[in-house]
Amino acid sequence: MCLAIPAKIEAVDGGRAEVDIRGLKKRIGLALLPDAAVGEFVLVHAGFAIQRIDPAEAEETYRLLEQTGITIS
């Protein structure tokens, strides 16, 4: 099963970004979304941002993951 996790972009440095995933900080690639900007929510899969999503969709996804027992930390 493949799973993409919502993340909020906090900083962009060239083709990389630092994101926040419910308090967990990660560096990801922006090769598929080179114009992604600070403050946007993206879906992250295999270390890359693959799609933009709105904040409400990100929160709903976090809620559904938690309901299934998946915790992000």
For position 38, which CATH number holds? 2.30.30.140
Is 31 domain-assigned? yes
Is 45 domain-assigned? yes
Range of the domain at 22: 5-67
The band of 6, judged by pLDDT with boundaries at 50, 70 and 90, is very high
Q: 């309901």: which residue's tokens? A: 67
Over residues 32-47, the pLDDT tens digits come to 999 999 999 999 999 9
CA dihedral angle for residue 59, residue 63, residue 66, residue 68, rounded to 10 degrees? -130
Taking CA atoms, 35 is separated from 24, 25, 32, in Å, by 23, 20, 9
Is 28 domain-assigned? yes
Question: Model's pTM, two decimal places?
Answer: 0.91
Structural domain count, the chain = 1
